[in-house]
């Protein structure tokens, strides 16, 4: 059996009723795999002893639950693109060559100018095994 975390947060919705999100995260993979959305009334009934209430349920990424999350940083030697579409395409091609054996890049890294160092751009890759 795996361990996990439960996060409960209240939200305000200007277009509808306020409610509560209950999120379930696997501690091994760090994947949020289920989110329940309840009305404030149903949440109150649930925590005060009502055995069952209606809620919206979203389930995702179950295939990653229990797998270990791995991360690595790759340095890609390219010039900063700073809005130049040709240089950005060159960076994208270099990143795609490193996406092997289940490794995927963190998409925001390519656009973040803070990731450029003297030796190139630092891109974070991740996978679950």
On whether both 85 and 122 belong to a single domain, the answer is yes
On whether both 90 and 45 belong to a single domain, the answer is no
Q: What share of the chain is helix, strand, coil (3-state, %, to 5)?
A: 25, 40, 35
On whether both 18 and 56 belong to a single domain, the answer is yes
On whether both 57 and 89 belong to a single domain, the answer is no
Domain endpoint, select from 18, 42, 64: 64
Distance, CA of 115 to CA of 123 (rounded, Å)? 7
Q: Give the tens place of pLDDT for each residue, 56-109.
A: 999 999 999 999 988 899 998 887 878 788 888 888 888 999 999 989 998 788
Mean pLDDT of 39-68: 95
Distance, CA of 38 to CA of 35 (rounded, Å)? 10
- The total domain count for the chain is 2
Residue 41: its H or E element: helix 40-47
Who contacts 102 (Cβ-Cβ below 8 Å, separation ≥6)? 127, 128, 129
Q: Give the tens place of pLDDT for each residue, 7-25.
A: 999 999 899 889 999 999 9
The two structure tokens encoding residue 99: 């996406």
**Domain residues for 86?**
69-128
On whether both 82 and 33 belong to a single domain, the answer is no
On whether both 79 and 49 belong to a single domain, the answer is no
On whether both 52 and 10 belong to a single domain, the answer is yes
On whether both 74 and 58 belong to a single domain, the answer is no
Query: Is the CB of residue 65 less than 8 Å from the CB of residue 25?
Result: no
């Amino acid at each position: 059996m795996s361990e996990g975390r439960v996060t409960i947060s209240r939200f305000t919705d200007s277009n509808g009723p306020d409610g509560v999100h209950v999120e379930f995260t696997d501690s091994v993979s760090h994947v949020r795999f289920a989110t329940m959305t309840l009305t404030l009334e149903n949440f109150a009934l649930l925590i005060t002893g009502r055995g069952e209430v209606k809620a919206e349920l979203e389930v995702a990424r179950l295939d990653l639950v229990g797998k270990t999350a791995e991360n690595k940083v790759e340095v890609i030697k390219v010039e900063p693109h700073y809005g130049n579409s040709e240089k950005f395409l060159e960076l994208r091609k270099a990143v795609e060559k490193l996406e092997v054996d289940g490794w995927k890049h963190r998409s925001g890294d390519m656009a973040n100018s803070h990731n450029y160092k003297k030796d190139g751009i630092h891109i974070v890759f991740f996978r679950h095994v």
